[in-house]
Chains A and B, each alone.
Chain A
Amino acid sequence: MIYRMGAALMSLVGLFVSAYLYLYKIGRIGSLACGSGSCETVQASPWSRIAGVEVALVGVIGYAGLLLVAMMAVQPALAARRWPPTLLLTLAAIGLLFTIYLTSLELFVIHAICRWCMGSAAIITSIFVLALLDFRRGAPGGAAIPVGPEPHSAR
């Protein structure tokens, strides 16, 4: 359960980081607390939008989805179900792959590293690791600790 709680907390932090970047992008925050100007360069680049949608907004939606799934997963009623950790791990893996793509763009195409984006990359990596540990713990043959009977085992 501790892994799911950790994933929920990190998703919440990621949600705020993405919201901050999105508010900057739409001009509601004067400048980023970044110091180097690289975040502005990244945010102003053509890669700051995907199919007409701000990448920061994709982040907001993604972290909100992760938060929702992690919050469901921590509910005692769902503790023994397999789908919450599976879904959490799947979403975290998609987020991690997307982050790797964005980071490679920063490194090799835009040639600017945004510290806030790096912060988001660290957050999604930690969520992925927590989701993976949670998934392995509950996997057949893993170190799963039974929390309670399956709801339908009482029949």
Chain B
Amino acid sequence: MASASVGMKQFYAVLGAVVFIGIGALGYLLAKPATVSIPANVTVQPSDTAGFKGYLKGSPNAPVEITEFADYQCPFCQTFATLQMPTIEQRLIDTGRLRWRYMDFPLQQHPFSRLAAHSAACADEQGKFWPQHQRIYEGQAEWTAARSAVNIFHEYAKANGLDLARYDSCMQAGKYAGRIQASYEQGIRLGVSSTPTLLIGNRLYQGRFDSDAITRLVDSLAPRPTS
């Protein structure tokens, strides 16, 4: 009976140790920030930007081109992407009057900006940049409040029909970290300091924009043919 009691004591001791280790490990994992992150301090290599000049939407023959420097975690960029861009697309891009070029400009104060930009870049690899881009902006409130945005972006990738194994591999490798940094550095060289910033011709426009203002601007640069 005494040996059985000792055996039970040993059993409970081992059980307690497993509980202690298990709860400790889970607590540590819950407390630490997301482990998938896209580094900002990468050295841009020529291969990072080879053949890449931003994400393009619209006709190559459009008379006006606007380059947008934006940050996925910036609220103004989100409002612009979700409320103004659909109208701009319908009025100007789809009608062949405007070509839109999107460039990443992840601000330092936004912890998930580079991750979001990288998610869109990995989607671009599979020809799904714009759906992923749009979904990330639409879900900004959701992933900004999350402890880890990486799983939410993964769900968006899944909803957009991406090959998830390829997407995950791309994300984990941080394949486009250099390209995102190159876009950021290009923005800095041009004088971009906030988001969204539009580059039209050689002039930078900063602040809030609406579709009417963009339409007037395009009208002034390339008047509509009068019949």
Chain A residues close to B by CB (< 8 Å)? 1, 5, 8-9, 12-13, 15-16, 19-20, 23-25, 27-31, 37-38, 40-41, 44-45, 74, 76, 112
The answer to whether A31 and B11 touch (CB under 8 A), given A9-B18, A20-B29, A37-B165, is no
In the complex, A74 Cα to B9 Cα: how many Å?
12
- The number of inter-chain residue pairs (CB within 8 angstroms) is 76
Q: Which residue of A lies closest to B169 (CB)?
A: A37
The answer to whether A27 and B146 touch (CB under 8 A), given A16-B22, A20-B29, is yes
- The 0/1 profile, CB within 8 Å of A marked 1, for residues 4-15 of chain B is 100110010011
B221 within 8 A of A: no
Q: Which chain A positions have C-beta within 8 A of B11?
A: 5, 8, 74
Cross-chain contact B151 with A24 (CB below 8 angstroms): yes
Chain B residues close to A by CB (< 8 Å)? 4, 7-8, 11, 14-15, 18-19, 22, 25-26, 29-30, 32-36, 146-148, 150-152, 154-155, 158, 164-165, 168-169, 172
Of the residues B19, B154, B172, contact of A12 by C-beta under 8 Å? B19
Cross-chain contact B7 with A9 (CB below 8 angstroms): no
Cross-chain contact A44 with B158 (CB below 8 angstroms): yes
Cross-chain contact A44 with B155 (CB below 8 angstroms): yes
Cross-chain contact A13 with B35 (CB below 8 angstroms): no
In the complex, A18 Cα to B4 Cα: how many Å?
32
Q: Which chain B positions have C-beta within 8 A of A30?
A: 32-36, 147-148, 150-151
Of the residues A1, A20, A25, A31, contact of B35 by C-beta under 8 Å? A31
Q: Name the distance in Å between B160's Cβ and chain A's nearest Cβ.
A: 12
Q: Which residue of A lies closest to B19 (CB)?
A: A12
Q: Name the distance in Å between A107's Cβ and chain B's nearest Cβ.
A: 15
